Structure 1
Amino acid sequence: MQRPVEEQIKAAFQKTVDAFGGIDVVCNNAGVLNESEWEKTVSINLVGMIRVAYVALEHMNKQRGGRGGVVVNTASLAGLGPLPSCPVYTATKHGVIGFTRAMAMASLGSDYGVRFNALCPGFVDTVLLTNISGRLGQFAHLSELTQRLVDTFGIMNVSKVAEGLMQLLTDENKTGEALIIMPDGNKFAEFPSQA
């Protein structure tokens, strides 16, 4: 039996296909931060993101009649290095990057014609950052450390993240990449060789 959330995701994709004849781009942006409700954080940030990516692949996969395209999953700078006050959030965003990189390789190896990339923004002026100290749960005593990190890295406007998204959408040579987005510029994360 399908879960109601999965049914809603499939219905939204089908409605989009019916309206536009197919799907070329998916911006898979799921994210909450609440260390007290860690299971919900895992469910939304990781499980929800995977569900959307799999439904997207059903529609975009060239081996099944899709047109190919690109899926961009929103991770975080915390997906590349730990945010000590948010270990569950950190784990989910590491998972987003690992999943994205593995899906990129699977798509290439299977000739699906779908690119997978991850956005890894630092601190962004969104609801996620608002009152972060109230959502640290058992790690609330580390809220000053978190604030020092925010002060060190700075806070970006959402439009800065949108610029990075456009870079990943338009550069057809990019797949399996994690784009770090910071106030002073963007750069691609470096990973050990898969050879």
Structure 2
Amino acid sequence: MNSYRTHTCSELRAANIGKPTTLIGWVDSVRDHGGVIFIDLRDRSGITQVVFHPEVNQDVAKASQQLRSEDMIQISGTVAARLKTDTVDTTNADLPTGEIEVSADTLNVIKKADVLPFQLDRALSNEDLRLKYRFLDLRRPSMVRNMQIRHRVTKTTRDYLDEHGFLEIETPILSKSTPEAARDFLVPSRLA
């Protein structure tokens, strides 16, 4: 637990129903259902649905209407079961948190997002645009998945080699000078 949140967006389950929680992350999507605002809140671990009821807190519900994709927010509220009856089923079996939602009673907008240069949930063919907005590109689900896999492979390799007595030693990388008139970047070193 840290001071910004009590749970990540993929942690909450049916066992947490009725308990208070604080989450922080990016707004993935916003849906207005007649004054009741639903958002999907995303962090690197997953997505949790958050609902803002006007009858719970009128000011917070009104502020939630101004949220848009990629705004960074912190919410506090109570974990509740999603509506499931014989005729209506709002649960989402595709999400690990699909049986619950968080009924928010506080909203803290950490940072408002500018208009996005591209949609994070769609494939992007313009490589220059991806690199210019690398900070946004790294939030895309495919990139998050790639970084997590790379981390696990690197960690597993290092752990295996460490357990077998190997040392990791970083040596300077030798490369030839570039002919494009760029100056070489020399790294100072200390003699032992």
Structure (1 or 2) with the greater helix fraction = 1
Q: State the TM-score bracket (shorter-chain normalisation).
A: under 0.3
* Higher radius of gyration, 1 or 2: 2
TM-score (ref. length: structure 2): 0.22
* TM-score, normalised with respect to structure 1: 0.22
